[in-house]
Chain A
Amino acid sequence: MSKLTTSPVTPQCYHCGEDCRGELLHAHDKDFCCTGCQMVYEILNKSGMCDYYSISRNPGTSRKIKMREDKFVFLDDAKIAASLIRFSGEQQSHVNFYIPQIHCSSCLWLLENLHRLDAGVLSSKVNFIRKETDIVFDHHKTSLRKVAELLTSIGYEPYISFSDMKPSVTRISKNKIYKLGVAGFCFANIMLMSFPEYLGIDAKEQHLVNLFRFANLFLSLPVFFYSASEFYISAWKSLRHRFLNIDAPIVLAIWVTFARSLYEVMSHTGGGYFDSMSGIVFFMLAGRVLQDKTYQQLSFERDYTSYFPIAVTRLKNEQPETAALPDIRLDDTLLIHNEELIPADGIITRGKALIDYSFVTGESLPVAKETGEIVYAGGKQTGANIEILVIREVTQSYLTQLWNRNTETGRRDEERSFVHLLSRYFTLILFSIAAATAAWWYLHNPSHVWNAVTAVLIVACPCALLLSNTFTNANILRRFGRNHLYLRNAQVIEDMANADCIVFDKTGTLTTGRYQDILYEGEPLQEHQVKAIGALAAQSGHPFSKAISNWAGHAGTKQTVSGFCETAGKGIEGIVNGDLIALGSASFVHKAPHAREGSEVYVSIEEEVKGRFIFRNHYRDEIPSLLKRLGKNYRLAVLSGDNAGEQFYLREVMGFDAVLLFNQQPSDKLEAIKNLQSQGKKVMMIGDGLNDAGALQQSDVGIAVSESNNNFTPASDAILAAGELARLDRFLQLAKANRKVVMAAFVISVLYNLAGIFFAVKGLLSPMIAAILMPCSSISILLVTYGLSNFYSYRARLQ
């Protein structure tokens, strides 16, 4: 420990702000952690653009992983370029790049000043929320490839995936916002012009009364025909599916109100209820807009195409050429470079593969494959180049198949909210009251039937229920978002509240993918031996080697290693201070094979086995206590793609009735979820990798856990920041409070209505008071829902 306290503060890289461990570059009076960072600085310095560093501190991202020179060759391919360029005129082309590195105002400044680095770029505009940049460039002076390479050279590598080839769909419909604007405009003006009517206008000014009435009628037309069409469409859709949703009675109330008002104005018997009608349409639309305001920057719909590259290198007669992904055919030979994704299932024909399936399985350890073995799409090659022979086309690959099957089974009924059920009873009661009223008046005074029935239908519109529901949902969505749980839509809140079984993925969800607990067992090592082992391990990029190098401290990195040799998937050896040191699997270090191979690394010095390092997944903080808390109210399960090594620990934490399944393939996970559902369980699945994608879709609520917002998550109902997983029980608590808040607000609004009817029947309510009370009651319901949902989130100890 004394070493730590006496050593000076580790210098930070001027470009990316990371600690400069290992190599430290000192140039231009500044420290850099790698040549990549230094190069970016030099490019910017040359163009006098060092403002970049003064806007935010250390704005760059680490450039330690070097990019292949010809990575963007495929952008020279006319067909691929044409699919990416959105518009191309005589002088200029427009392209939109997704740049996940955008994170601060320096990024914004630099990307919008691209024209100072390359005269060919005419302008660029950043959309910060979506992390996108619109670039306009002169295609006579530069090319798409050069623009992409320019971005990469300054540390903003655009992410180009297969999904960019498809025509982009419009992200959010702005129609609802226009409708809301129109409704607000009409509502306010109708209110204004209703005052003369309410305040009592002189009988001599009859022509003015008519003027105001007709002006109101005129202003209500856009509300009735345009703004309210939102509800007509929704009601019609559900009626066609033989389902009565909440919008149906609302449409009925709107129509009846409009018809009666029209009749009153035309027959000169009254002013109608245009103000109430447009007011309620305005408030209900506002609720819908707030509720639907989800998170643009997050994608809940990703399919495999957003993960796959747009183009790969194909070998034709031993010559590399660029091929777009859909053009890959059976028996093509593909060249896969370091850090590239394997796009189709294939057989390795040349080179030794070390494939990182972390993306597919969540398992962080790369798998070694020899020539002749099959590799599956979705894995990432680490190390030297390999060649594969395609045995299944992209659309037929194992991973893609899994995905396609899910889209069919994953279709959901969007309208299963309790609000619809409640509104149905409400409508039923309403109709019986209306019928009873009609019958009573028919017997006593038939001329009053029309008035009485329309009055009942107008008063008893379930709009208060819709209002309280949408505003509560909107507020709870916002609360969740503030605590880094992002839901796809409001229905997910209810699904979360209904779940009674929670299924976790292990690797990457309960445990972190990055850190591993390390334990040394065996003969005690002397300090110089620890340093030597650390020096050897630092030579390799394998996760275990990195962990051992960390364990040994970085003191040993200055020692020279000679004769270093890495056997992919087996181990490493080298000579440090004259000692031959070997690190690796049991068989590699000349010891009998061991049952738990894969999570142990043996070490030998001068061919004498000293001991072994045992690696254990590192559980996220507070996970054990979370599982214990959840275990009281939920049935828990763990589906792991890993071996059963952690079984005893998990059993101890989760109790005896928890389902623990190991060695699960992606399709097994999906089946396991189906199995639980067939037992009548409402299943919530929490996972992270592509291997959970099927299970996430099959489950009633699928939550994808993400280490950072930039990370790609499989299609799911919600995205949760990994650090917040420990608060899952509180999120569930708030989701359950949602229904209580909606019901409370609804009851209050029913009381309002009853009181209103009571006074109206006695003739104590003047039209003006009624007209003022209507928006006030709506606003008070909003305040109640807002206050109550905030109270519940405070009680659940969420921000």
Chain B
Amino acid sequence: MSVIILLLIASISVAALFLAAFIWSVRNGQYDDEVAPAVRILFDDKPAASAADTIVPDKNIQP
């Protein structure tokens, strides 16, 4: 019946993975603003119209 032990370990580690994902998402501030992300995704990215557009925003900013 050692297969049960294996299954147990597998199921708990999958659940633990989800727990870790949950804690990460809270810490990351994904629930801080519930309005902006939903709106932001609808904006179309226009092709670069001016020189200013070529600047790539720094993505590594943590609030």
Contacts and interface: CB of A to CB of B under 8 A. Distances in A.
Contacts of A108: 36, 39-40
A181 B19 contact: yes
B61 A134 contact: yes
Contacts of A119: 51-52, 55
B19 A185 contact: yes
B15 A47 contact: no
22 contacts: A47-B49, A105-B39, A105-B42, A108-B36, A108-B39, A115-B53, A122-B55, A122-B57, A122-B58, A125-B63, A126-B33, A129-B36, A130-B32, A136-B57, A136-B58, A174-B27, A181-B22, A181-B26, A185-B18, A208-B1, A208-B4, A211-B5
Nearest to B35: A128
A92 interface: yes
Nearest to A129: B33
Contacts of A51: 46
Nearest to B32: A127
Contacts of A796: none
Interface string A189-205: 10011000000000001
A253 B55 CA distance: 60
A441 B11 CA distance: 44
B6 interface: no
A115 B36 contact: no
Interface string A743-755: 0000000000000
B57 to A, nearest CB: 3
Contacts of A215: 8
B35 to A, nearest CB: 4
Contacts of B36: 108, 126-129
A727 interface: no
Interface string B7-42: 010011001101100110011000011111001101
B26 A116 contact: no
Contact residues of B: prevailing secondary structure: helix
Contacts of B4: 208, 211
A118 interface: yes
Nearest to B16: A185
B58 A116 contact: no
Contacts of A47: 49-50, 52
A123 B49 contact: no
B35 A123 contact: no
Contact of B52 (A55, A115, A181): A115
B61 A136 contact: yes
A92 B51 contact: no
B49 A48 contact: yes
A136 B63 CA distance: 11
A20 interface: no
A112 B19 contact: no
A123 B1 contact: no
B15 A92 contact: no
A116 B32 CA distance: 26
B23 A92 contact: no
The number of chain B residues touching the other chain, given as a range, is 35 or more
A564 interface: no
Interface string A699-743: 000000000000000000000000000000000000000000000
A401 B58 CA distance: 46
A669 interface: no
Interface in A77-124: 92, 94, 105, 108-109, 112, 115-119, 122-123
Contact of A115 (B8, B18, B49, B55): B55
Nearest to B57: A123
A130 B15 CA distance: 33
Given A208-B1, A211-B5, A116 B35 contact: no
A48 B33 contact: no
A188 interface: yes
Given A118-B52, A178-B26, A215-B8, A128 B57 contact: no
A47 B4 CA distance: 65
Given A122-B57, A128-B35, A178 B23 contact: yes
B26 A177 contact: yes
A414 B5 CA distance: 49
A580 interface: no
Given A48-B49, A174-B26, A177-B26, 13 more contacts: A92-B58, A115-B53, A115-B55, A117-B52, A118-B52, A119-B55, A123-B57, A125-B61, A126-B33, A126-B36, A189-B11, A193-B8, A211-B5
Contacts of B11: 189, 192
A93 to B, nearest CB: 11
Contacts of B55: 115, 119, 122
Given A126-B36, A129-B34, A116 B61 contact: no
B33 A127 contact: yes
B17 to A, nearest CB: 10
Given A47-B50, A123-B57, A128-B35, A181 B43 contact: no
A128 B38 CA distance: 11
Contacts of B12: 189
A363 to B, nearest CB: 37
A128 B29 CA distance: 13
A123 B33 CA distance: 18
Contacts of A55: 43
Contacts of A123: 57-59, 61
Contacts of A117: 52
Contacts of A189: 11-12, 15
A182 interface: yes
Q: Which 10 A-B pairs have the closest CB atoms?
A: A123-B57, A128-B36, A128-B35, A185-B19, A105-B39, A48-B49, A127-B33, A116-B52, A119-B52, A181-B22
A181 B23 contact: yes
B28 to A, nearest CB: 11
Contacts of A174: 26-27
A47 B52 CA distance: 9
A447 to B, nearest CB: 35
A585 B5 CA distance: 92
Given A115-B57, A208-B4, A130 B33 contact: yes
A162 B39 CA distance: 32
A134 B60 CA distance: 13
A215 B26 CA distance: 27
